[in-house]
A and B are shown apart, each in its own frame.
Chain A
Amino acid sequence: MTQILKHFAALLVAALPLGLTHAAVYQEPAEFVNESFHGKPPASSALWLTPELKKQMEEILGHPPTGMRVRYWHDQERTTWVMDEIGKELPITTGIVINKDTIERVRVLIFRESRGWEVRHDFFTDQFRGAGMNGKGSLDRNIDGISGATLSVRAVEKLARVALLLDQTIKRKQ
């Protein structure tokens, strides 16, 4: 028993200097939007989700979308989206910029899961750059996953596809 207590105490002492913090915020969403429009973001707009659009989103997400609207920022050919999707247990907040029908940038902004945080790294998100939609609602390229982070990878990929779908939807309305 003494031995167990000694080892646990050593483990705890080693860990304490790291300090308890909240979910990892890698970039505030407002800052991401600001950066996406070079410091001059347009006012946000709201895209109301019609039954048809909800159905298309459900096909991608594997579940009905939450909420009735999606906020976005739109200037000329560029749209920016900040959306949440659950990986295993908790939402991953991801920012996605679409420019001329292809993905310009994907960035994981807030990560709340206890596993799979590797998706935040550029070596993963850079794979989305230049990706568009093929005729079947999938990305037009393969995204290599990260072993042990399968569900987080899947969540970010779904959000990228949803952003492309919503971008196409608002541009069709114009």
Chain B
Amino acid sequence: MKLAPKRHLLALSATLLAFTTGQAAEAPTAEQMWEIIQQQQQQIEALQQQLNQTDEKVAETDQKVEIAGDMIEQAGGLPAEASWVTRSKIGGYGELHYNDLDSGNEMDFHRFVLFFGHQFTDNIRFFSEVELEHSIAGEGANGEVELEQAFIEFDLGDSHVAKAGLFLMPVGLINETHEPPTFYGVERNAVEKNIIPTTWWEAGGAVRGELAPGFSYDFAVTSGLNVPMTGGNAFKIRNGRQKVSEAAAESLAYTGRLKWTGMPGVELAMSAQYQEDITQGVMDVGATLFEAHADIQRGPFGLRALYARWDLDDAAAIAAADPAAAGRDEQTGWYIEPSVRGRLGDIPGEFGAFVRYDVWDNNSGAANLTEKRQSNLGFNYWPIPDVVLKFDIQRQDNEDGNDVDGFNLGVGYQF
């Protein structure tokens, strides 16, 4: 087929050659000329026809390639019966820490976390998070296995979501988002840990949504705290977490949050919680949490600041329950954390440097000084956005004289 046009060209050339050589000997007659023109016309038409056929075949081939492409792409998917696989997702995060502090040196795989989620329908989904803390769990071991999240979520309209189950409380900066690449410092900040208290989860129902562009709300009715009433940790909020493990539910908690993210890189939010009795029917001690924070990341510069405060009813009853609890009717803290982040020359990935100053007191209501202050200075290096290497220097000044200074190293990931 490819030779056919060449054959026609050869025939045409031969005719012309015969014509020109013949002309030298004898000029063609009008009849001969007419015959030659007729032959040429036939050859042109034949060539044109072949060209048209070629165009048609090219178009036909294009079409076949497109159809084949469609079929291959469709066949590339999983069969319908395996669609639950495509509707299920796994993820996780983890962090290894080395602490070289006055309180001792320690190497600890602090957290190993796996997420599992499943999309039942377009608007109903399941999400869960299981965590192994400190590598080994079990009787006498340092660590524990914890169910941190397990809830069903329902979409309500385009901008509202309801959920029921066990979930993280909508309070603070790192309680809900605490994957290692998302924050500075090897250890989580002391204020959110000791005051809020991060990581804090409860079980119940919640709704959240958007009231206006960039202006959102959360509201939850959940299980509540159940603080110890005697001992060194009496009435400490952090020790009141029941972790939804056969949790006493005589008194529920009501939590709300308003958040503004109406400008890229800016989050302003405040949360509040009220619980009628954080002793779950034993002493009738009501408690209120107020928390406010700002998280700003504009260009390379970042700033995080947070204030949190718990107010517990009946200071006298609390102090009477255990001398160690004197002043725990107020538990407060705040921190500020400026940072800068960017690339360094041609080194792959990004660097970030930060300084953080934390102040907190779990006995704020006491006359004596019980405040703790901690400064951290350090950097993060993200070779890729989901992997981070961390280093920071820590100085912790305690009023009781037990300062905890030193440095921390860490590596973390998320996927």
Q: Is the CB of B207 within 8 A of A145?
A: no
Residue from the list A7, A20, A88, A143 in contact with B264, Cβ < 8 A:
A143
Compute how far the CA of A33 lies from the CA of B367 in the bound complex, rounded to whole angstroms: 68
B2-38 interface (Cβ within 8 A of A): none
- Chain A 133-166 interface residues, beta-carbon cutoff 8 Å to B: 142-150, 154
Give the chain A neighbours of B159 by CB distance below 8 A: 24, 117
Tell me the bound Cα distance from A149 to B266 in angstroms.
12
Task: Give the complex CA separation of A51 and B117 in angstroms.
Answer: 33
Given contacts A121-B262, A123-B264, A154-B385, 13 further A-B contacts (CB under 8 A): A11-B219, A18-B160, A18-B209, A89-B119, A117-B159, A124-B264, A127-B264, A142-B299, A145-B264, A146-B264, A147-B267, A149-B261, A150-B182
Binds A, one of B92-100, B102-110, B149-157, B233-241: B149-157
Pairwise interchain contact A46-B66, C-beta atoms closer than 8 A? yes
A4 touches B297 (CB 8 A): no
| Chain A window 1-28, contacts with chain B (Cβ cutoff 8 Å), 1 for yes, 0 for no | 0011001101110110011111110000
B371 within 8 A of A: no
Cβ–Cβ contact A144 & B117, under 8 A: no
> Is B397 in contact with chain A by the CB < 8 A criterion?
no
The minimal Cβ–Cβ distance linking B278 to chain A, given in whole angstroms, is 16
Measured CB to CB, the residues of B under 8 A from A are 66, 69, 72-73, 76, 89, 91, 117, 119, 122-123, 125, 127, 153-162, 164, 176-177, 182, 204-207, 209-210, 213-214, 219, 221, 249, 252, 259, 261-267, 295, 297-300, 384-385
Q: A9–B311 Cα gap in the complex (Å)?
A: 29
* Range class of the A interface residue count: 35 or more
> What residue of chain A has the Cβ atom nearest to residue B304's Cβ?
A147
- Bound-state CA distance A62–B122 (Å) is 26
Contact between A21 and B123 (Cβ–Cβ < 8 Å)?
yes
CB within 8 Å: A-B pair count:
117
Residues of A within 8 A of B264 (CB): 123-124, 127, 143-146
CB distance from B370 to the nearest CB of A (A): 32
A67 within 8 A of B: yes
| CB–CB B299/A15 < 8 A | no
Are A121 and B73 in touch, CB under 8 angstroms?
A: no
**At the interface, yes or no: A84 with Cβ under 8 Å from chain B?**
no
A144: chain B residues within 8 A (beta carbon):
264-265, 297-299
**Residue from A21, A68, A142 within 8 A of B155 (CB atoms):** A21
B73 touches A67 (CB 8 A): yes
Q: Once bound together, how far apart are the Cα atoms of A73 and B254, in whole Å?
A: 52
Complex Cα spacing A46 to B70, Å: 11
* Closest Cβ neighbor of A48 among chain B residues: B69
Residue of B at shortest CB range from A11? B205
When the two chains form their complex, are residues B204 and A8 in contact, meaning their CB atoms are under 8 A apart?
Answer: yes
| Among B156, B182, B385, residue most surrounded by chain A Cβ atoms (within 10 Å) | B156
B119 & A4 in contact (Cβ 8 Å cutoff): no
- B123→A69 contact, CB < 8 A: no
- A14 with B221: CB separation less than 8 A: no
Q: Offer 6 A-B interface pairs, CB within 8 angstroms, sorted by A.
A: A11-B162, A11-B206, A22-B123, A114-B153, A146-B261, A147-B266
